[in-house]
Each structure stands twice: as C-alpha cells, then as structure tokens.
Chains A and B, each alone.
Chain A
C-alpha cells in the first residue's frame, strides 16, 4: 500500500499524481511564488477544478490551491467507511441555529477534486423556471443568468463528465441524449419504479457521473456501491478524474495540502495582488493578476471574512454585508421500509432511480398530494452502507441497543427513498467567524441555520409522498429520518452590489480582479443535487471571465 497522503504534498518537483495509476506521475508546469500568474484559484472542486481546466486550456497561467491531499484512488481508497473519513473536511465548524447543519462527511470534501471525490454522482439540471423563480414563480430571487445559457453549459458539463443517463428524460425541456447509456437499475431503484408506477408519476434511471462503458482511462462502473466514500476504480467521473488531468495537461499547477489563509490587496483595497497560503509547514505568498475563491459555501465566505483589512473592515468584497448570508441546504429527509424480498441496496451507485415529479407538477393524477409549498423536490432510491445507515437510524430516531441491532438485521430487506428538497434563501442563515481559531490561527466558521416554514412544508410533503410510494411498492414498518444535504449560497451573485457579492460573471462588485466560482454563488438552491449546476455555472463563468480577465491581463 502506498503512503497515505495527508502529510506531504504530492504535486511537487514538476510532477503531479497520475490519478489513473497506482503510483505514477504526470508532468506539471510550476510557477515561482514571485511570478505574477494570471489566476490563483482557491479550491479545486466543482467550481475551481473545472475553472482551472478551462482557463488553462484558454492559455492562461493558473495555480490552483487545495487544502486537501491529492489522491490516487487505485492505491489510496479502501472499501471501508472508517478509513475513507480522510476524504472529508473534519476541522470543526461551529453549527448553530435551531436546525444546526451537519458538516464533514455530509457535505464537505477536503481533497483535490473537492466534494466530488465523495459525491453520489446524481447529475440533474435545474428546472429552467428556477433561474427566475421570483419573476416566474413568485418566490426566492432571480439569478442574473438566462436559463438558455445555463442549458448549453449543462450540456458541456455532462459531456465532460461523461454522464450515463436515459435516452429520454421525462421532465423539463429537451436535453438530448446523455453521453453514455443509462445504468441497469438495481433492486433498490426498482422499488422507486414500482411505487411511481402505482402512484401514476414518471420515474427515470438517474443520470449518474459514473460511466456505463469504458471512457478514456476510466473502466465501466462495476457496481461495488462504495461511491459515496470514494470510487477505487475511477469509473466515477469526479472532478479529480474528469477535470484535474485536463488542467494539468493544459499547464495548470495544482498545489495540494496548501491552505489559503488570506487574500492580499493593494493598500487602497482596490485590487487583489495574491494569496497567503500555508504549505509544508510555512506560510508563502503567491502573486497573481486575478484571485478566484472556490472553497464552497463555508470556506469561501470564511476566507473573505478572514481577509478583512483597513480598506475592507467587514471582510473582503463585503461592502453589502452579504458575504456569508443566504446560506442554503437541501432537506434530505428519507423514508425507509421493510420488504418481503431481499433488496441488498449495497450493490450499485446509491441512487439509481429518481423522481422529479414535484419539481414540475402540483399534484399527482389521482390527487391527494396537492402542493402546499413554494419550490420543489426530487427524490431518489437509496443504498447507504451499513455504518452510514445505522448512524442515521440511531441519531435520527434515538434507537439503540438490541432494538437497533434487530432493526439492522433487516438491512438486506430494506429500501428507502430520500429527498432533495428546496430550501429558500434567508439572510439570517449565515456564516460568520467564531472567536476560536484553528491550528493555523485562523478563526473558525460559525454557521447558523434555521429552517423556515416553507422549508418544513416541503420536507413534510416529501416524507408523506415518499412514504405512500414505498407502501405502494410493498414496503412496511416505515421509518422516517430527517437531515440535510449539500450547501449552496453564502456569497451569492446578483443584479446589484447592494444585495449580492458578485455580478453574473462571478466578479466581486468591490474588487474587480477578485472572483468567486463555486456553489456559494447560487442565489437559490432548487430541488436537485447541485453539482451539475455548480459545474455548468463554472463553465459559463470560464467562458465569460477568460475573455474579460485575459484582456485585462494582457493590457
């Protein structure tokens, strides 16, 4: 077994890990810290990783930093839930509010490739109306983005990630064929299919970011079922596999195990000049013509707040006071039932069938489930690994002892449905700085979250409908669990500097060569998993900023 990364950087001496090999390397262009690179990007996930590839391919010099290690899945990843804790951001965030958010494995990666190294690969698009939810649907806020531009970027993101999905997707405007054919639906997915048929609603094989046939150096998915704790075969099209090799090949430099602690500006605060980062036990300063923050909804606001200066006393790019605000999650409530047949949900990706009915309709054909909320939700079949499921049961219901062990004995005969329910933006759900500091002396994030009435109605509707659907498929002894998934917002883009952090291009209103490119930009969260939307938005931003910043850089 190779040395587990985490202690010493691997992207050094002109080489970076070849993620498709057990121990190999690929060449990597490197920059001196005194070189003023075109772009210093903080974070290498759905936002930063995608952007690094696109900007490097456009000819810009790029250094992308990640606080986490640079994994080689073939030799670093085990089929073990405890070992794979190394994929997560485990430095504590302070969770406050009436509904404190769970971080770590729930939504926060710490690795080159970001949270996509452990995401469930569900590759859905927004309902087009959600990009203008205020003007078209009467809730939330409009994105400063036209859905048709996003539609084209989704297609590019899906192509780059080689999404495997159905020939015809039942909901929303036409989206053409997915690049790879859909996967065979497992028994857990067939429970959703059977229930959906009984309830008279559509279902689909979930479009997934794991390949159903060989793709480049990725082998087809072998349905080992450990996707959520890291794919050890590279069938999964994480950003680590789909974009980081592209970025390196195009000349981008990746600095792993490099934590950016502060963005520096000119004394007047008008221009960013580079980033202070901690690597190999010491602080360094990388000069850059443009700085892009891509640390996701907690670390992006935290870094901006930690970069306060005389010219920016409230934190960088925070003249509006919006940095850290409008943080969103998804309601991730679930219903679990016991069946007469053996389901063995551990086989295959966790969510092989999905239903977006209530993202597009107000009731089911037979009635009885009239919408009583704004927004929407999707739900999927589920296949949690043993420790993940047992912990959800215990922490969600208080079950312990012999009762818990007995319930877990039915593991192979259980099936469940889990929702991704829209949560509305609220200025008081926010990231601020805690008084206590981390090992580098940087104030930790304090995150306050309280669900609103509408959010609770979405979740309650979802539980009721999923429960009815499970029973229609033959499930009994239903158990409900509650929870959240994903993070969105915290540095939203918008139409005006008074109530948003960036413009439509991700350029901060306050500092013209400081950009944001990650899920924190999302003004609303929608009722689908956000990774494809974050990637599509990064592609859209890359198309726009590449040209704009390039002109500036050459001027």
Chain B
C-alpha cells in the first residue's frame, strides 16, 4: 500500500475552526460515535459482508478500520435506494441478500470453502470473476453479477469509505469547508487551514 503523502494530517483537527459549521459537526458526530447496530443481515451473512468490505477497501494498517458493513446494514434496514434500479434487479436490500448468497456459493463451488475462509488473493480473483460475469451459481437467481458488483457493492462500499474523515485525511482532502472556504486556488498553493504540501515519493 502506497503511504499517504499527508502523514499526521487530520481533517478533524479543524473541528473547532470556522471550517466546521454546526450542521456538519452534528453529522460527523453521528458518523464517528453512533455506528449503527446489525439489524438487517443475519449472523451468517454478516461475516461474508464484512470480508467483502475488507477486500474492496482493505485497511490492514488500521487497528480500528473505518466501519463499512454497519452502514450498508443501516441502508438496507431503511430500504434505501440510490434512485436507480437496473432493470432485472430487485430492490437494493434484496440484491445484497441474493448477491452475498451467490458469492458464498461461488466460493464453495470453486474452492469447497466459504468466502470468508479464502485467502485474500482468492477472494480478489473471485470478485474479478463476478465483475467479468464469469460466474454461474444458481444462487444468483437472475441477479446480473456485474451490475451487482459495480452498482451495488463497489458504489456503496467505496462511498461509505470516502465520506469518513480518516479516508479524507489520507488523501489530503480539505474536509468540511463552511462557512470558511478557501482563498489560495492556484497550483501548489494551500491555505494555512489545509493539509501542508504533500510528501510525495517520486516513482
């Protein structure tokens, strides 16, 4: 894993500055301190979902990884939609349930073991086959594998990760910016309340 060019930078250091307004602090307080409990997925589904999240957004260097599965569970529990449902797809929550079962079935068919018991490389290889549509388990039940993988799995997991302050800090994003925005807009210029210039390791 490439290291962050912004070691030590934390968007949350701006919490008490004019970059963080009250609505934003309230939202982030909930995200950081009010991680929802499991309500939608079963005890059997949960480890598969968690393992999947760990392959899409691996965080081996973090002792406390950014939580992802709980937010997917919360969205499914609330029957949330993104506003789009591909023709032939069930509602998002049902697609998750079907898709996880299919993933588990593919792991069993290929390796005789569950998805959570596969090595990282085997999990990645299986996910790439799903993305290529190169899967055939009956458990897909007509769910289009690539649509499930990109439009549900990738879209939701990646989004949950990058709205977290820890993810935003590692890429040097400015973070919340209201009411104070920015003054220095040119290349290689940064305001004092932004991340300092990155420490780039040139290839």
Contact = CB atoms under 8 A, between A and B. Distances in A.
Interface of A: 1, 75-83, 88-97, 100-106, 108, 184-187, 190, 221-226, 232-233, 339, 341-344, 346-348, 385-387, 390-391, 394-395, 398, 400-402, 404-406, 408-409, 411-413, 446
B187 A90 contact: no
B175 A400 contact: no
A88 B150 contact: no
Contact of A412 (B19, B31, B155, B198): B198
B131 interface: yes
Contacts of A402: 1, 58
A386 B23 contact: no
B192 to A, nearest CB: 14
Contacts of A79: 19-21, 24, 175-178
B60 to A, nearest CB: 9
Interface stretch (B33-41, B83-91, B106-114, B134-142): B83-91
Contact of A342 (B31, B57, B198): B198
A266 B175 CA distance: 56
Contacts of A232: 21, 23, 178-179
Interface string B73-111: 000000011111111000100000000000000000000
A346 B200 CA distance: 19
30 contacts: A78-B23, A79-B21, A82-B27, A82-B160, A91-B83, A92-B81, A104-B82, A104-B83, A104-B84, A185-B185, A190-B186, A224-B180, A224-B182, A225-B174, A226-B178, A232-B21, A232-B178, A232-B179, A233-B178, A339-B187, A344-B172, A347-B185, A348-B185, A386-B163, A386-B167, A387-B162, A390-B158, A404-B158, A408-B171, A409-B5
A223 B23 contact: no
Contact of B154 (A95, A96, A391, A412): A391
A105 B51 CA distance: 28
B87 A94 contact: yes
Contact of A90 (B80, B168, B180): B80
A92 B163 CA distance: 23
Nearest to A393: B158
Given A1-B22, A79-B24, A223 B182 contact: yes
B128 to A, nearest CB: 8
Contacts of A94: 85-87
A96 B85 CA distance: 9
B46 interface: no
Contacts of B22: 1, 75
A387 B170 CA distance: 13
A402 B120 CA distance: 11
B116 interface: no
Nearest to B84: A103
A405 B198 CA distance: 16
Contacts of B13: none
Contacts of B185: 184-187, 223, 347-348
B12 interface: no
Contacts of A184: 185
Nearest to A233: B179
A396 to B, nearest CB: 8
A108 B83 CA distance: 8
A498 B80 CA distance: 41
Given A75-B23, A82-B31, A401-B55, 14 more contacts: A78-B23, A89-B83, A100-B86, A101-B84, A103-B83, A104-B83, A187-B186, A225-B177, A390-B158, A398-B131, A398-B149, A402-B1, A409-B170, A411-B171
A395 B150 contact: yes
A244 B158 CA distance: 36
Contacts of A395: 150-151, 154-155
Contacts of A348: 182, 185
B187 A387 contact: no
B111 to A, nearest CB: 19
Q: What range describes how many residues of B lie at the interface?
A: 35 or more
Given A225-B182, A387-B162, A341 B24 contact: no
B26 interface: yes
B143 interface: no
A342 B187 contact: yes
The 8 closest A-B pairs by CB, nearest first: A104-B83, A222-B181, A224-B181, A79-B176, A96-B87, A224-B177, A187-B187, A387-B162
Contacts of A221: 181
Contacts of A225: 174, 177, 181-182
A347 B85 contact: no
Contacts of A406: 1-2
Contacts of A409: 2-5, 170-171
B181 A78 contact: no
B86 A387 contact: no
B173 A386 contact: yes
B150 A398 contact: yes
Contact of A93 (B2, B58, B83, B174): B83
A80 B187 contact: no
B162 A408 contact: yes
A76 B82 contact: no
Contacts of B155: 391, 394-395
Contacts of B158: 387, 390-391, 394, 400, 404
Contacts of A105: 82-83
Contacts of A92: 81-85, 91
A106 B159 CA distance: 14
A187 B27 CA distance: 30
A81 B181 CA distance: 16
B5 A412 contact: yes
B188 interface: yes
A184 B185 CA distance: 8
Nearest to A409: B2
A401 B187 CA distance: 29
B47 interface: no
A104 B181 CA distance: 27
A513 B189 CA distance: 57
Nearest to B82: A104
B176 A95 contact: no
B154 A80 contact: no
A81 B172 contact: no
Contacts of A75: 22-23
A78 B4 CA distance: 26
A77 B167 CA distance: 21
A225 B194 CA distance: 13
B49 interface: no
A88 B181 contact: no
Contacts of A96: 86-87
B27 A80 contact: yes
A401 B56 contact: yes
Contacts of B57: 400-401, 404-405
